[in-house]
Structure 1
């Protein structure tokens, strides 16, 4: 009997401690050859593993450099796959993301926010366009790690939520367009998951003259992730997402933390009431309007 072909998955944003690294480990346990990509490979060296002996049900992880915002880096990664004899992908996971450029919309740093969109939106698109041809022959699947944030109107992180909303609509529209080509797209609406992403907000301060100085402590707490509900272990969420991919599903899947509750609230709770619930203890009700001149 002919030996079955080992399936291959490429994952972006695989810095240890986050959902990308957890997905790599879960795909490896399921027998995949995992291409774990990260801007600085040395930071993900601990993920790398050797190809197991014949007969093992587990796969292995190979760490490769990839900056999703760089066309040159994407092309080099593609060339490296070819050099390594990889002529196809079964799964592409767009996980790389960032949360810089947050805070009140009137105070947002536009340049920082553009960089965030470059990762969360245009990076996702660039990687998808580059690697889609490798998915075609294998009738593969694209897993886009989006966020519940992309479906919520939550103060103090409007830029991030907007980037995730854009990524969500991009992913769902892509699903419609590539299904006739034989590809599947899974849009992961991820809730609270253990990761390093909130460390990007550690040094946030409102600019001088901000209208929101009176509630700065609420905003800083949110930018540092202190307003997050209890975070679910990345390994648990990764297992659910890999189950979704291997089940043959397409479309949205709500995973992690309070994602399921958010889905139901968006559907069944009146929007104004849901806004009040979301913004409890976030300082919105304590804002004081500037005095009239």
Structure 2
């Protein structure tokens, strides 16, 4: 299904400043949708603005921003239906559970789960009226919780559960809820996650740095290595557009070879999976004393 220029429909993409969100906004506009692209800053709005893309300042943890989005949708001058909501906004930090303060846990859940739920709740009447689609961007971290991915994986596991329940609730009303599970995708999100990890390591106690410094180093090096060989953001955008267009979409789509493999290995016994993940991480540990151990 491609939106007709004569009967243009609205697609909403949160977290559209960079990466998967920006690529998705451009792909959907190319296919004829009028895209409301949620961004955090004016400079991002100007960067994404284009034919078919209308940027909106949208912090999904801000109720006023969400209400402004709903008002924009309800007051659309052309009376266009909402075909799709792409819940993409997210933050990430690769850090051991002991070293991640509770207020940081809460902040991550506010963005990665509660904000997504708030946007979805607000737009559900319009999506039900149009029998539209909800596309929730999860992660392989929503299936496998690797070392130092605990907080991020916790939000994504929860987002997967919400998606399953929502799909079953909305199916009788003609609304498809679809989960996208990307693996390694070349985006700016990794750089931000590594920078955040560095800040958190510097705030650790000496004992925590001794326990986890080398682990954080290895996790970040592994992430950098896998991302270099990962797929471009456009690959994820293509899958998302396919999920919106499919007459009978699947409940889940993976993006990239790594995602497909990890969603399969999760069926291994726990101890076996522990050994597999540890072996994959081992080559990335520092060969010499790490700055993380200082």
Deviation at 1:266, TM superposition (A): 2.2
Q: Secondary structure at the match of 2:205?
A: coil
Give the aligned partner of residue 214 of structure 2.
217
1:197-276 matches, cutoff 5 A: 197-200=189-192, 201-202=194-195, 203-204=198-199, 205=201, 207-211=204-208, 213-223=210-220, 225-226=223-224, 228=226, 230-248=229-247, 249-267=249-267, 269-276=268-275
Deviation at 1:236, TM superposition (A): 1.4
Given that 1:15 and 1:21 are in contact with CA atoms closer than 8 Å, whether structure 2 keeps it comes out as yes
Given that 1:153 and 1:275 are in contact with CA atoms closer than 8 Å, whether structure 2 keeps it comes out as no
Deviation at 1:250, TM superposition (A): 4.1
Inter-partner Cα distance in structure 1 for 2:95 and 2:263: 24
Q: TM-score, normalised to structure 2's length?
A: 0.85
Deviation at 1:82, TM superposition (A): 3.5
Deviation at 1:223, TM superposition (A): 4.4
Give the aligned partner of residue 76 of structure 1.
68
Q: TM-score, normalised to structure 1's length?
A: 0.85
Give the aligned partner of residue 289 of structure 2.
none
Give the aligned partner of residue 97 of structure 1.
90
Give the aligned partner of residue 57 of structure 1.
none
Give the aligned partner of residue 20 of structure 2.
19
RCO greater where, 1 or 2, for CA within 8 Å and sep 6 or more? 2
Inter-partner Cα distance in structure 2 for 1:162 and 1:106: 14
Deviations 1:138-188 (A, max 9, x none): 110000001110111211120111011001111111101111111000011
Deviation at 1:76, TM superposition (A): 1.4
Inter-partner Cα distance in structure 2 for 1:214 and 1:19: 34
- For this pair of structures, how many residues does the alignment match? 272
Inter-partner Cα distance in structure 2 for 1:275 and 1:96: 30
Given that 2:8 and 2:80 are in contact with CA atoms closer than 8 Å, whether structure 1 keeps it comes out as no
Deviation at 1:97, TM superposition (A): 0.2
- C-alpha root-mean-square deviation of aligned residues, in Å? 2.3
Q: Secondary structure at the match of 1:20?
A: helix
Given that 1:15 and 1:43 are in contact with CA atoms closer than 8 Å, whether structure 2 keeps it comes out as yes
Inter-partner Cα distance in structure 2 for 1:3 and 1:39: 29
Q: Secondary structure at the match of 1:98?
A: coil
Inter-partner Cα distance in structure 1 for 2:21 and 2:139: 14
Deviation at 1:41, TM superposition (A): 3.5
Give unpaired runs (5+ residues) of structure 1: 51-59, 287-293
Residues 140, 93 of structure 1: CA spacing in aligned structure 2 closer, same or farther, 3 A cutoff? same
Inter-partner Cα distance in structure 1 for 2:147 and 2:30: 39
Give unpaired runs (5+ residues) of structure 2: 286-294
Deviations 1:94-151 (A, max 9, x none): 0000014x41111212111211100000011000001111112211000000111011
Inter-partner Cα distance in structure 2 for 1:36 and 1:121: 19
Looking at secondary structure, tell me which structure has more helix per residue. Answer: 2
1:117-128 matches, cutoff 5 A: 117-128=109-120
Given that 2:132 and 2:176 are in contact with CA atoms closer than 8 Å, whether structure 1 keeps it comes out as yes
